[in-house]
């Protein structure tokens, strides 16, 4: 059996402010809706972090959630909060990326794209790389990236859940983050 998750990440250019406070606000939202337990546990796929185990009501954030088999027997089955450190949220399986310039629609060489991602992650170089074709500099979040990748110092991951999120849930996440969000599906 393989694991999967959904990363939900705000789209922004500069460092997201007050990530610890925002993470607590998001956790309070999940707990207030009865979606996760109140205590940390080993319910996410991480060696050095813990998450918040899902409660049966987690199915309420998914379309056809009642058809999804919630299971309290899954070891990896919870909410992960990511905050503080720049994080690249990527789809894992296949681990390729195709970056397209929004100005000239040229596809960036994959090695150059991976260099851009590494520079952003390490906060070295520029956050506004120049397209090798047209020369325009854009923030990494402004380039079209396939499959979906996200870049932020805050985000959440839903481990081993259904993937068809309700639009109302996405709207709530946009309100909580105060910006548009990107959903990155991951299969491991």
For residue 66, is pLDDT > 90? Answer: no
The average pLDDT across 50-62 equals: 93
Strands 51-54 and 36-41, how do they pair?
A: antiparallel
In this predicted structure, the answer to whether residue 71 has a pLDDT above a threshold of 70 is no
With vertex at residue 10, the alpha carbon angle to CA 6 and CA 11, rounded to the nearest 5 degrees, is: 120
Tell me: the pLDDT tens digits for 13-22? 999 999 999 9
In this prediction, residue 70 has a pLDDT band, given cuts at 50, 70 and 90, of low
Amino acid 96: pLDDT: 82
Is residue 50 over pLDDT 70? yes
Say if residue 147 is preceded by a cis peptide, omega within 30 of 0.
Answer: yes
DSSP letters along 138-150, please?
Answer: --GGGSEEES--E
Query: How far apart, in whole angstroms, are the C-alpha atoms of residue 112 and residue 118?
Result: 10
SS (H, E, C) 70-133: CCCCCCCCEEEEEEEEEEEECCECCCCCEEECCCCCCEECHHHHHHHHHHHHHCCCCCCCECCC
Distance CA 121, CA 124 (A): 8
130 compared with 162, residue with greater pLDDT: 130
Interatomic CA distance for residues 65 and 84, integer angstroms: 32
**In this prediction, what percent of the chain has a pLDDT beyond 70?**
94
Supply the mean pLDDT for the chain.
91
Burial 51-78 (b: 16+ CB within 10 A, else e): bbbbbeebbebbeebeeeebeeebebbb
Q: How confident is the model at residue 48 (pLDDT cuts 50, 70, 90)?
A: confident
| Interval 74-100: pLDDT, tens | 788 899 999 999 999 998 766 788 999
> How does residue 73 score in pLDDT terms, banded at 50, 70 and 90?
low
């Amino acid at each position: 059996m393989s694991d999967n998750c959904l990363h939900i990440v705000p789209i922004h250019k500069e460092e997201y402010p007050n990530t610890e406070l925002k993470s607590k606000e998001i956790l309070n939202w999940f707990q207030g809706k009865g979606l996760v337990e109140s205590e940390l546990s080993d319910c996410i796929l991480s060696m050095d972090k813990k998450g918040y185990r899902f409660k049966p009501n987690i199915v309420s954030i998914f379309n056809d959630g009642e058809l999804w088999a919630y299971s309290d027997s899954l070891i990896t089955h919870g909410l992960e909060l990511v905050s503080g450190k720049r994080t690249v949220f990527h789809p894992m399986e296949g681990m390729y990326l195709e970056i397209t310039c929004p100005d000239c629609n040229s596809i960036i060489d994959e090695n150059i794209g991976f260099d851009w991602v590494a520079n952003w992650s390490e906060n070295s170089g520029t956050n506004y790389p120049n397209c090798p074709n047209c020369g325009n500099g854009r923030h990494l979040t402004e380039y079209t990236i396939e499959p979906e990748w996200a870049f932020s110092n805050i985000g959440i991951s839903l481990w081993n859940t259904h993937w068809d999120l309700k639009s109302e849930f996405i709207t709530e996440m946009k309100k909580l983050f105060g910006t548009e969000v990107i959903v990155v599906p991951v299969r491991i």
